[in-house]
Every structure is written in C-alpha cells, then in structure tokens.
Amino acid sequence: MSVIDKPRLDRTHVLALLRDMIRVRKFEEKCAELYTQQKIRGFLHLYDGEEAIAAGVIPVLGDGDRIVATYREHGHALIRGVPMTTVLAEMYGKAEGCSGGRGGSMHLFDAATNFYGGNAIVGGGLPLAGGLALADRMRGESNVTACFFGEGAVAEGEFHETMNLAELWDLPVLFVCENNGYAMGSALARTEAQTDIHEKARGYGIEAHVVDGMDVVAVEAATRKAVAQIRETGRPVFLDCRTYRFRAHSMFDAQLYRDKAEIEEWRKKGPIVRFKGWLLENKLIHDSDVAEIEAAADAEIAEAVAFSEAGTWEPVEDLEKHVLGPQPAPPAPVTPSGSTVETTYREAVKQAIRDAMIRDERVFLMGEDVGAYGGCYAVSKGLMDEFGEDRIRDTPLSESGFTGAGIGAAAAGMRPIVELMTVNFSLLALDQIMNTAATIRHMSGGQFGVPVVIRMATGAGNQLAAQHSHSLEGWYAHIPGLKVLAPATLEDARGMLWTALEDPDPVLIFENVMLYNHAGQLDEAAGPVDIGKAAIRREGADLSLITYGGSLYKTLAAAEELARDGINAEVIDLRSLRPLDDATILASVGKTRRALIVDEGWRSGSISAEISARIMEQGLWSLDAPVGRICSREVPIPYPKHLEDAAIPQTPGIVAAARAMMGR
C-alpha cells in the first residue's frame, strides 16, 4: 500500500472521522424521535450502525466527484457537506429543504455538492451512476462517481446490467455495497445463491474487495486505494463493505425476522464503539474530546430542528412547479428554400441524427445494434463509420441499464439519443424512464434535469404478432415530467429530433414502423419544428378527424374518400401526445362541431379517451354529435395479415364511422 492509500491517523484526522460518525448517529437518533412525533412522515430508513462506510468513503472524494445514494442516505448527505438544516427541513417537507420539500427522507438532492440524491427504488441508482461516469469518460474528465447501494440491490437486473456496462465501457465508478446482510427483512442466505457479493462483481471482470464496514479506517484505506486507481485507469472498482444496521429496515418495520440478541452482539462491535475505544485506549483522544464532539452535534441538531420548525410550506399554487424545466421558445419557422429532395422517413430520421452529431459534440447515439448493424430499421446505417464507436455506441441487450446510463449522461450535461429497438422493449426500461427521468427534476426541486431523447419504433402492420406490435405511446403520455412525440411527416421526422435535443426535459419519440419506407419530397432547408403544437394537415368544415403517427395517412385517405361524398373533413395531426395541443383541437371542433379520433392504441384507457374527455369538458356545447373513436380492437395483435388488419384502424372503418356521425 502506497503512502497515498494510507489514512494519516494523526489527531486531527481521527477526530474528523469520529466526529462524522457521531454527528450522523446523533442526528438519526433525533430523526427517530421526530418520527414518533409525526414531524417526519412517510418511510424513514436509519443508518444506525453503518456510519463507518459513509465516513470512510465520502471525505476521500473530490469536489468534482459525484455521489448517487440510496433511500438510507441521510449520513451520506451530511458527510458530503449538505447542511444539516436543509437536510432536516427536507425530511419535514419544508420549502427550505435541500430538495425544496419535494423529495423527503428518501430523496435528498444537492447540486452544490454534486449529491445526485437518494433513490427509493432498490438498485435504481446504479444505471444513473453508470451514466454520470459515462459522461466523464466521454469528455476525458478524471472524476469519480461513487454509487452506494445495499446488498438487496444485487438481485435486481439493473445491478447486473450496470456491472456489465461499467466493465465493458471502463466507467469510472466506485461501487460501494453497504452489505448489512438483510436487504429489507430476508437474510442473504434466503435470497441469494451466491452470498459473497463481491464475487458477483468479479464475475464481470471488475476488481472487487471485501472490506470490514464496521472499521472506518479499513473503509477509508480501501477507498483511497480504489479512488486513486480509478483516477489512474478510468476503470470501476467494487467495495463489498460488510456492516450491520442496528435498527429496523424502516420505522414501520417490527423486526420479527432477527433476534434481539443478534442485534446486541453486533452493537458491541459497532463502528463508533470500536473506533472510539481504540482511540481512547491508545490515547489519541481523550474523553473530553468525545464530550466536545457530542456537544457540538447536539447544538447543530438543535439548530436544525429550530430551522425546520420555523420553515415554510410551499404554496399549493406552486404544485406544478418543477414538473418541467424552463421551456425554450419554439423554433422560428424555417423559410422554404424552394428546392426539395426525394427521401424517406427512415432517411429523414437518420439525417436528423447526423445533423445533431455535427452541430453538438455532446450528442451521441446509443442502443442495441445501432452501430455495426446499422439499427434494426436501418436508421443509423453508416453513422458508426462517420462518427466512430464512441458516439455511435452499441449496447448490450439491457434496456434498463443503457437507458439509465443515457439518463445519467444527460444529467451530467451530455445530449444522448437512446434508441430502444421496439416499444415493447421499453417496458424493460420503464423503471428508469418513469422513476428517474420523469421525476428527478421535481424531486430535486429543480436542481437536476434530464435532457435525454429516447426513440423507439411503435405500431403494428408488419405481421410481427402480439409481442412486437404494440402502440403504447398513450401509456407514456400519462406520465408527468415526460414529453411524448409522434412524428408522421418527413418534416417532423427530421425536425422534431432537432428541437427535442434542445429541450431541458426527457423527450420520447415514437416512430411508427409502417412509416419508415414512406417516401416524399423534403425541403432541403428543413430544420427544427415546434414540438408542442398540433398541425392541421387538411382543412375542413364538416367534422374533425384527430389522429397521429401511423394513422395519419389512413386518415387523410379517408378524408379524400369522404370528400367524394360531399363531406369536408378536417384532419388534425396531434404530433405531440404530451403535451396535447388543446387549443388546436378545440378550435377545430368548435368549427366542425363533430370529432372522430383515430388511435392505434387499445380503446380502454387510450389517448383517444383522454382527448374525448377534454373535448367534452371544454367544448361540449359546441358539439352536434357525441365524440367518436376508432381504436385498435381489444385483442393482442394477431399474426395473420387479415386479422392484423382487422385489429387496427383502417381507412374503410374511419370512413364508415365518419359517415355514421354525419348521418349518411
């Protein structure tokens, strides 16, 4: 072990280590008391017994290094330098809290100290940490991301996906497993075939070490060595810190799964008792030093309680604040050049990616087979040759892992385009999309945003049967914090990506599989488009046909057929499913007095149901007929072509419904 790896156990240093542990312990004891008084609500997970890990790891990190924690993160935040006043105020839910009162005990965030928050999802922070490190790797920066998690997380797929990516891509992550042996209430031997956690990391080729997590000096020594190594090599290191929590999993936990005698036995070798006893025995400190540390902690805690009690509740009027970031102005309309080029939807998307890569070095594309293969739908064919493997990044088949990595990279300032091969695969990444990308801005009180673009193919029509023919974009439109786009035209295929990459929030782009071969003329000057507005694709006065994505051209064809019957239909291309452009929809319906919605999603709980409700709520008295809907039938999409066609909206069905609405 080199000099740089060894802690300097002089008086100043050992007092600092002891001070950190006692400060955290006493703070948490106060939190337990406040919880019984119902000052702190929700779940409360205490760190009692595990203090040596945070105290040994975090002071070794530099200011530019990042921390991703778990729901048991109060000690991590305090030792990182988040003020105790704002930590406790957050646990109270007060506006003065470190997350503005929006995160609570499990979601402490602090941008000033690069503290990327606790995470209530077991293992959920691992992909985020991988993405933060990926950003550093791609920019050539020497930062380290420290990721804390419990041993329960190692059963999650996100753990294994992140381990693989970290080793595959040489990500500078310090993985710190706070192995307390019980996850929530099940001992390791009950839940894991391999109870030596570090062996799981070694299985991926990651250097891994077992550390006595009750010995703060051992933790610090291991951390110093690991951090120095990560900075030198850029490669991950894994620390399996064996520890024990003296209290329940959370304050709701009756602890019926372990004996009290076992807890008391562990308390005798707790990190504070052990370290303090050794220091006193070796006369490195005196009883008066301990008394002074405890008095200082008590005073700080009293100040934090007073601060929190005096704190204010955020006004109800601010309820919708920090759902989205500051919204950029819509792009100025591009003046047509008068010169067009024959192209396809597929090529328009490809050129949008290519243009973005040229414009902004922060942009990169990642996903399954996007590089050497050229993309499942050949959208990215040739881009790896032009931009290299670093920026056209092939990923393993690990949707949650690489989507989470894209989210983390975006949070660190990159502009990733994540391609999920098909919409049904996106469900494997739903945890990262919904629980991290869509919520981190709100839970952090606006401190962190995720400007990631996630593209995926959607829809039926290629005889791929039930597992590859979903239209789930309406599901995602249900989630606050996301923007959901469905480009149907060549202009939108080219321009929506441009605008989405300049948005401060996560944007999901759904590309209908039946549009990739759609061909037409595209202006050579085509540029960014407004991603928040619907478009009138055909003017009309008799009824409004409202649709999006793959159904647009079927609906336009229906409008032409209706015109031959003397029915003049207006066709609205929604383009954006979240936010919905109520103004354009209601203006059209106010003019035509009839609305028929065409939606490839299933009828129950569909986006068409939402649109219908909004029309009824805001425009009922302008209607001459009930709102109509043409949706996919309530069946898994079949394989035979005639049944597949019967299952999804088609032009004849749209025409028939429109005629019936007009009494024809």
End-to-end CA distance of the chain: 88
Whether the Cβ atoms of residue 570 and residue 545 lie closer than 8 Å to each other: yes
Alpha helices by DSSP H, 503-650:
552-564, 582-592, 607-619, 641-647
The radius of gyration of the chain from alpha carbons, rounded to an integer in Å, stands at 28
Task: State the CB neighbour count (10 A cutoff) for residue 405.
Answer: 33
DSSP one-letter code for 354: H
Nearest to 400 by CA among 148, 150, 157, 117: 157
Which residues is 66 bridged to in the sheet?
145
Q: Give the closest residue to 478 by CA, choosing from 337, 606, 368.
A: 606
Per-position b or e across 444-483, b if 16+ CB within 10 A of its CB: bbbbbbbbbbbbbbbbbbeebeeebbbbbbbbbbebebbb
Q: Decide: residue 642, CB within 10 A, 0-12 exposed, 13-18 middle, 19+ buried.
A: exposed
Active site residue 468: yes
- 550 DSSP 8-state letter: G
Of 160, 198, 322, 468, catalytic:
468
Q: Which residue has the tokens 């019926």?
A: 256
Which residues contact residue 194 at a Cβ distance below 8 angstroms, ignoring those fewer than 6 apart?
Answer: 200
Quickly list DSSP for 415-429.
EEEEEEEEGGGGGGG
How far apart are the C-alpha atoms of 77 and 88, rounded to whole Å?
A: 11
- CA atoms in the 13 A half-sphere facing the CB of 512: 25
Which own/partner pairs from 638-642 qualify as long-range (CB within 8 Å, at least 24 positions apart)?
638/465, 638/466, 639/463, 639/464, 639/465, 639/466, 640/463, 641/463
Nearest CA to 599 out of 632, 645, 633, 556 is that of: 632
* β-bridge pairing 173-179 and 145-150: parallel
The DSSP element (H or E) to which 207 belongs, if any, is: strand 207-212
Q: Which is nearest to 419 in space by CA: 381, 451, 379, 454? A: 454
435, 192, 272, 259: CA torsion to nearest 10: 110
Residue 26: Cβ-neighbour burial (10 angstroms; 0-12, 13-18, 19+): middle
Q: Which residues contact 414 (CB under 8 A, 6 or more apart)?
A: 134, 135, 138, 139, 362, 363, 364
- CA-nearest of 115, 109, 129, 234 to 176 is 129
Contact 562, 534 (CB under 8 A): no
Catalytic one among 167, 399, 491, 600? 399
Q: Return the number of other C-beta atoms located less than 10 Å from residue 542's C-beta.
A: 18
Q: Is 399 part of the annotated catalytic residue set? A: yes
Distance CA 404, CA 166 (A): 12
The contacts found for 642-645 with CB under 8 angstroms, 24 or more apart, are 644/460, 644/461, 644/463, 644/469
Please identify every residue annotated as catalytic. 399, 468
